[in-house]
């Protein structure tokens, strides 16, 4: 007589999948993926607030990114900061006064009568030697003149400093997400591609920073690589979370004597 039983379709040597996880593992990996996802959203918000308005217009654009790395060759470093990262620290009318003074050649007489009081009110609390911060000194005319030269974008030294931090940090995040994602049940070609894409995007993005410092057209590569990284992580995190909690092992009837 033939008896029908239930058995796993996969062989005994099959790789682990999300349905093999214990509850503790599911909670651990889910918490990690959710926190990384929130961290990525915070990073996007930080990027938006850091780059928004560098070109003098509302909203984040490719021009903002290009001007950050390539600079505004028709403007000055101080003007670029006032339009970008420091825009929130000064009101619009005061900013117009300083930019107009910069465009007039940054004369000393204009500094004493108009610019010095604005900087003393808005900037000198931090931009002074007494603060101990590694930022430009705006407490004197000589210090202001040093940032009133042509804006050539972020310095090569600063770019190398930020680049190695990002390469180490973001690569570790991509590695952590990939360690969880490797348990996903997907077509092999799709899983291999999606595992590799974040690392390609990270390298392309950071390499494009240096290229953009040389030619602003590469700012489009920065945007494309950033979008590719975001899409890869969204897919990896979403697929992993779904399969952690909803994937079940397929079973088939097995005939036994």
Least confidently predicted of 20-29, 43-52, 64-73, 153-162: 64-73
> Is the entire prediction scored with pTM above 0.75?
no
**CA distance linking residue 118 with residue 96, whole number of Å:** 11
> pLDDT at residue 206 above 90?
yes
Domain boundaries, the chain: 7-51+154-256, 74-146
Give 138-158 pLDDT, tens digit per residue: 888 888 888 877 667 788 888
Helices (H), the chain: 23-51, 62-70, 77-83, 92-103, 108-110, 116-122, 141-146, 156-181, 188-214, 219-246
> pLDDT at residue 12 above 60?
no
3-state secondary structure of 110: helix
**CA distance linking residue 75 with residue 145, whole number of Å:** 13
Give 51-87 pLDDT, tens digit per residue: 776 666 777 788 888 888 887 766 777 877 787 777 7
Give 226-243 pLDDT, tens digit per residue: 999 999 999 999 999 999
**CA distance linking residue 65 with residue 217, whole number of Å:** 10
CA torsion through residues 156, 159, 165, 168, sign: negative
**CA distance linking residue 148 with residue 228, whole number of Å:** 37
Counting other chains too, the contacts that 136-141 makes at CB distance below 8 Å and 24 or more residues apart are 136/77, 141/108, 141/111, 141/112, 141/116
In degrees rounded to 5, what are phi and psi of residue 211?
-65, -35
**CA distance linking residue 248 with residue 206, whole number of Å:** 40
In degrees rounded to 5, what are phi and psi of residue 102?
-60, -40
């Amino acid at each position: 007589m033939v008896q029908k039983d239930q058995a796993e379709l996969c062989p005994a040597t099959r790789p682990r999948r999300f349905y093999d996880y214990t509850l503790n593992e599911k909670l651990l990996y889910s918490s990690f993926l959710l926190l990384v996802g929130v961290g990525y959203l915070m990073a996007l918000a930080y990027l938006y607030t850091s780059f928004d308005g560098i070109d003098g217009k509302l909203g984040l654009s490719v021009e903002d990114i290009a001007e950050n790395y390539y600079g505004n060759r028709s403007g000055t470093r101080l003007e670029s900061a006032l339009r970008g990262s420091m825009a929130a620290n000064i009101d619009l009318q005061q900013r117009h006064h300083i930019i107009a003074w910069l465009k007039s050649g940054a004369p000393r007489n204009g500094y004493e009568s108009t610019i010095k009081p604005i900087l003393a009110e808005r900037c000198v609390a931090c931009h002074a030697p007494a603060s101990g911060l590694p930022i430009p000194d705006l407490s004197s005319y000589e210090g202001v003149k040093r940032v009133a030269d042509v804006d050539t974008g972020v310095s090569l030294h600063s770019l190398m400093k930020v680049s190695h931090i990002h390469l180490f940090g973001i690569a570790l995040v991509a590695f952590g997400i990939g360690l969880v994602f490797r348990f996903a049940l997907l077509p092999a070609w799709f899983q291999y591609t999606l595992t590799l894409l974040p690392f390609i995007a990270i390298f392309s993005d950071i390499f494009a920073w240096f290229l953009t410092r040389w030619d602003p057209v590469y700012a489009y590569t920065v945007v494309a690589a950033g979008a590719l990284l975001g899409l890869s992580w969204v897919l990896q995190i979403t697929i992993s979370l779904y399969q952690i909690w909803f994937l079940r092992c397929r079973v088939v009837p097995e005939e036994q004597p």
